[in-house]
Amino acid sequence: ADYKSEYKVSTVVPAPFPWGLAADKWIELVRERSDGRINMKAYPGTQLVAGEQTKEFTAVRKGAIDMSVSSTINWSPQIPEMNIFALPFLIPDYKAMDALTSGPVGEEIFEIVRSKGVEPLAWAENGFRELTNSKREVRSPADLEGMKIRVVGSPLFNDTFTAFGANPAQMSWADAKPALTTGAVDGQENPLTIFTIAKMHLVGQMYVTTWGYVADPLIFAVSHRVWKDFTPEDQEILRQSAIDAGAYGIEIARKGLTEGDDSLYKELESLGVTVTHLTDEERQKFVEASRDVYEKWTEIIGQDLVKKAEDSVANR
Amino acid sequence: MSAHVILLGSFFLILISGAPISVALGLSGVIAIFFGLDMDAVANMSTITYASIAKYPLIAIPLFILTGMIFERSGVAERLVELSRAIVGPRRGGLALVAILVCLIMGGMSGSGPADAAAVATVMIPSMMKEGYPRAFSASIIAASASTAILIPPSIALIVYSIMVPGVDLRALFAAGLFPGLLAGLAVAVPALIISRRNGYGSDSGASRPPLGRSFVRALPGLFAPVIILGGLRSGLFTPTEAAAVAVSYGLIVGLFLHRSMSMRDIYNVLAESAQISAVVMIIISLAGIFAFAGSILGTFDAAAGHILSISDSPMVVLILVMFVVLLAGMVLDGVSIYLIALPLLMPIMATLGWNQVWFGVLMAMNVAIGQFTPPVAVNLMVTAKIANVPIEATMRWVFWPIFAMILSVGLVIAFPSIALWLPTVLGYKV
Amino acid sequence: MEQETAADTEDSPQEKYPFRIEEAIGALAMGLICLISILNVVVRYATNVSFAFTEEYSVFLLVIVTFVGAGLAYSNKGHICITFVVNRFGRNGRALLNTISFLASVSLFVMLVYYGSDLAIDEYLFEETSPALGYPTWIYTMWLPLLSLAVLFRIFQVQWNDLRKKR
Ligand code: NA
Ligand code: NA
């Protein structure tokens, strides 16, 4: 079949966020490698579904969106297994994250996505999600008591934050910034690259707690509606470009947040933000508070998959 | 034919056929998506229609519409009229001034013009007739001053603006609207007084002056409403949506217990009517989502923004041009539609030229306010002319002066942005 | 010219229009939105109980108010329209424009019925759940096509009445 003159790629945030940069890289590589035969354009803000990011997967599946670089969280309303990455404190570090995405868990997730009419190509990364708020330093669940926290995507987040004693409110990213600005919510959780680039200290988010309670991998995907029209050679170009763009995206998503390079934390502190790194005992309090949620959602996600994930993490 | 032409052309054709503006927006969007993209993209319309209104911050709109209607029904207007008469006293043009004052105070409870206009016109026009004001004159003055309801907080127009423009603080917008709103009120009052004096409308004897103290006490529950709305926001106690919920509760308490002017039956009616009025606004927001989707995905808005920016290097020239176009649009379109059509293409211009978002939001709201009493489509004038029982055409000769004066006041806010930005800055909001 | 229904506030509208089921549903939904919003404030400031989940209900009720009211507004001629162009035309021109306007409304809401059902059925088949409460989303979405159908009914009713009056 004829190729479209332009393929629409949905993302939530644009460049210079690592997420948007990864999407742009993919688009650039595909254009180069296909000698300009395949043209893609990024549509950030999930504007292709009027900002309703939890409706993105359905739109991709039905072909209303051709391609996407998507958070697993935003696809969880249609694919419950996606909640695996949001199980509180399942993933302790970057090594564990890599063990999941490049291991049997990643494979099984891709198989499920494929069975629902969408071709997954590669992983990228939004990052570990950290807690920020405008009220006070948070070191224990007691500090979170009664705080209204904006969350995304899935009732799992509601359960987790309710277990911590907070008051979670689900809304899209488009609605989140005004809500933080007006004080409709007190805090939010997102990777710190999102925090710095969106300048969230300017809307009063002056307290950051690094607890790495969940990770947020991204998936490069193409709707089967258009995937089947590409020649095998071009499918390979799309896939390999996604893998390369994903590696690039993961590198920038982790920049300044590793043991060797903690420049992003320094940058935050220079903005006057209080950055709180939890000690192991402090972190353990949150782990205990969310234990029941972990069990409940293990049932929903499927015990086999969770077991596979726990094994991958243990053997990383 | 390009998709841009299809989008705008079908919008105007459907619009002038007399179909609801919401339908014109939605259907032209669908047609343009079909020709510019494909049927798969059209299938997205149901998601967009739903998602465009399934947003929590929008809850403030029906709540503030309901607040306005409750205060309108609970007899607040009569008491405010009495108080204003006590303050102004019997003099030439006195009742015109009273009507304007009451409109301004009612504007502090209601988020849209027509309800404000209806409440004040019902109370004022009969007594203004008795004192020799021509009906068409009274209808014009009340329609014009009621338009300040979308400037003086709360304001439906500014809520829509804050939702469309990411990161702008609704509380800052509300605060920024107050002084331009009062300035607009003054812009109606000055010509109204001059015309009344010249033509000898209103008597300087005759009607007795109500006692100030007693009128003040009677008006107190009503006067308290704007204080709760603004004060609650100021103290950081309430978000705008919560302030709306508190204002609704307060209105019910005033109507049911303090004034004892409302029955349970009235409450049902107020709920039913506010539901329909909210729906008329919300269906525009919903279906305009399809139009906005088409305009941004087909690149129509980018192209239009590029054209506007290429006209002149001077930000002031571009601003005046934009203001002029919004003013013209206000003659035929309602405020919500103007925001939804114009903002996607104005936002990049705002960013390029470095305009302050709060200031620009208030300037747009001032133009939309003028549009509310500028024929041929003038929501406020429709209401007051009907109550005064005069044809719209009869108001033409009177309504010109407040239109002219309000355009001057827009010029003042352009020249002195601090008229808008001083208050939110002092209150500590991000502007 | 038809404009916002505030125009009718000086005479009692409850006697003017026949009772319509949409009116009662709209009033109920509106009342519930108020109640939830007020409770939200009370609960947030008086207790530490989590209440933000109610936002999912409020937003759904807002959709109900919108579509129920949109149908009513056809019956009550309450939609914001531009009619001064129509009024400048003669009989034939007016009839033509009226037909365009009628067909525009009908085709838009027919498409909403079609694509809305498509969406709701899809969500049912794929067992999509809501982001906040985890309910099946089709229980919310199905009201989009159903209420669009109700709007269509009102559009046809108004057109039928107008045609009958002309004869
Ligand atoms: Na107001
Ligand atoms: Na107008």
**Mind listing the pLDDT tens digit for each residue in B75-98?**
888 899 999 989 988 888 899 999
Q: What is the pLDDT of residue B39?
A: 83
Residue B49 placed within a domain: no
Split at pLDDT 50, 70, 90, the class of A86 is very high
**Residues B376, B345: one domain?**
yes
Rounded to a whole number of angstroms, the distance from the CA of A264 to the nearest CA of chain C is 31
Q: What is the pLDDT of residue B330?
A: 87
Percent residues over pLDDT 90 in chain C: 60
- Alpha-carbon distance C52 to C37, whole Å? 10
B178 residue type, one letter: L
Q: Nearest bound ligand to CA B365? A: 1
3-state secondary structure B46-106: HHHHHHHHCCHHHHHHHHHHHHHHHHHHCCHHHHHHHHHHHHHCCCCCHHHHHHHHHHHHH
In the predicted structure, residue C17 carries a pLDDT above the cut 70:
no
Range of the domain at B36: 1-43
Residue B414 placed within a domain: yes
Residue C79 in contact with residue C73, Cβ under 8 Å? yes
Structure tokens belonging to residue B163: 């939702």
**Residues B186, B65: one domain?**
yes
Split at pLDDT 50, 70, 90, the class of C14 is very low
Residue C1 placed within a domain: no
Structure tokens belonging to residue B231: 């004060």
- Alpha-carbon distance A249 to A18, whole Å? 6
Residue numbers in B near A55 (CB within 8 A): 47, 51
Split at pLDDT 50, 70, 90, the class of A48 is confident
Split at pLDDT 50, 70, 90, the class of C144 is very high
Residue B51 placed within a domain: no
Q: What is the pLDDT of residue C167?
A: 66
**Residues B73, B39: one domain?**
no
In the predicted structure, residue C46 carries a pLDDT above the cut 80:
no
Q: Chain A contact for B48, CB < 8 A?
A: yes
Structure tokens belonging to residue B4: 């841009």
Q: What is the pLDDT of residue A154?
A: 86
Radius of gyration of chain B (CA): 22
**Residues B71, B33: one domain?**
no
- Per the structure, the count of domains in chain B is 2
- Per the structure, the count of domains in chain C is 1
In the predicted structure, residue A47 carries a pLDDT above the cut 80:
yes
- Alpha-carbon distance A22 to A3, whole Å? 23
- Tokens 């950055």 correspond to what residue? A275
Please give the residue that has the higher pLDDT: either B222 or A183.
Answer: B222
Q: Average pLDDT for residues A203-223, to the nearest whole number?
A: 94
In the predicted structure, residue A13 carries a pLDDT above the cut 70:
yes
Residue B52 placed within a domain: no
**Element holding B143 (H helix, E strand):** helix B135-146
The pLDDT tens digits of the residues spanning A155-184 come to 999 999 999 999 888 888 877 877 888 778
CA nearest to A198 within chain B? B167
Of C55, C119, C126, the CB nearest to A78: C126
The pLDDT tens digits of the residues spanning B320-329 come to 999 999 998 8
SS3 call for C127: coil
Rounded to a whole number of angstroms, the distance from the CA of C131 to the nearest CA of chain B is 13
Paired sense of beta strands A118-133 and A40-43, if any: unpaired
Q: Nearest bound ligand to CA B337? A: 2
Q: Chain A contact for B39, CB < 8 A?
A: no
Residue C11 placed within a domain: no
Report how far Cα A28 is from the mean position of its chain's Cα atoms: 22
**Residues B99, B192: one domain?**
yes
Q: Average pLDDT for residues A79-93, to the nearest whole number?
A: 95
Residue B48 placed within a domain: no
Residue B307 placed within a domain: yes
**Residues B13, B85: one domain?**
no
- Alpha-carbon distance B66 to B272, whole Å? 10
Q: Chain B contact for C54, CB < 8 A?
A: no
**Residues B316, B171: one domain?**
yes
In the predicted structure, residue A278 carries a pLDDT above the cut 50:
yes
Do B162 and A64 count as a contact with CB atoms less than 8 A apart? Answer: no
Paired sense of beta strands A167-170 and A40-43, if any: unpaired
Residue numbers in B near A14 (CB within 8 A): none
**In the predicted model, what is the mean pLDDT of chain B?**
90
Do A78 and C128 count as a contact with CB atoms less than 8 A apart? Answer: yes
Q: What is the pLDDT of residue A88?
A: 96
Residue C5 placed within a domain: no
**Residues B34, B172: one domain?**
no
Partners of chain A (3+ Cβ pairs below 8 A):
B, C
Split at pLDDT 50, 70, 90, the class of B204 is low
Maximum distance among all alpha carbons in chain A?
Answer: 60
Half-sphere exposure at residue B103, Cβ-oriented, CA atoms within 13 angstroms: 39
Residue numbers in C near A77 (CB within 8 A): 128-131, 137
In the predicted structure, residue A118 carries a pLDDT above the cut 80:
yes
Which residues line ion ligand 2, judged by CB < 5 Å? B 331, 371, 374, 377-378
In the predicted structure, residue C47 carries a pLDDT above the cut 80:
no
Residue B50 placed within a domain: no
**Residues B27, B98: one domain?**
no
Percent residues over pLDDT 70 in chain A: 100
**Residues B185, B296: one domain?**
yes
Q: What is the pLDDT of residue B336?
A: 86
Residue C3 placed within a domain: no
* A17-21, B179-183, C6-10: the lowest-pLDDT one: C6-10
Rounded to a whole number of angstroms, the distance from the CA of C15 to the nearest CA of chain B is 11
Cα(B327) to ligand 2 centroid in Å equals 9
Of C44, C122, C130, the CB nearest to A58: C122
The pLDDT tens digits of the residues spanning B332-342 come to 888 888 998 89
Partners of chain B (3+ Cβ pairs below 8 A):
A, C
Split at pLDDT 50, 70, 90, the class of A65 is very high
Torsions phi, psi of B186, nearest 5? Answer: -65, -35
Residue C12 placed within a domain: no
Split at pLDDT 50, 70, 90, the class of C20 is confident
Residue B100 in contact with residue B192, Cβ under 8 Å? yes
Its pTM stands at 0.89
Residue numbers in A near C131 (CB within 8 A): 54, 77, 152-155, 170
In the predicted structure, residue A147 carries a pLDDT above the cut 80:
yes
Q: What is the pLDDT of residue C1?
A: 30
Q: What is the pLDDT of residue C10?
A: 38
Rounded to a whole number of angstroms, the distance from the CA of C67 to the nearest CA of chain B is 7
Q: Give the highest mean pLDDT range of A120-124, B104-108, C1-5, C36-40.
A: A120-124
**Residues B285, B173: one domain?**
yes
In the predicted structure, residue C15 carries a pLDDT above the cut 60:
no
- DSSP label at residue B254: I
**Residues B133, B159: one domain?**
yes
- CA nearest to B364, candidates B402, B398, B326, B413: B326
Split at pLDDT 50, 70, 90, the class of A136 is very high
Q: Chain A contact for B264, CB < 8 A?
A: no
Of C52, C128, C130, the CB nearest to A168: C52
- CA nearest to B7, candidates B28, B34, B38: B28
Range of the domain at C82: 18-166
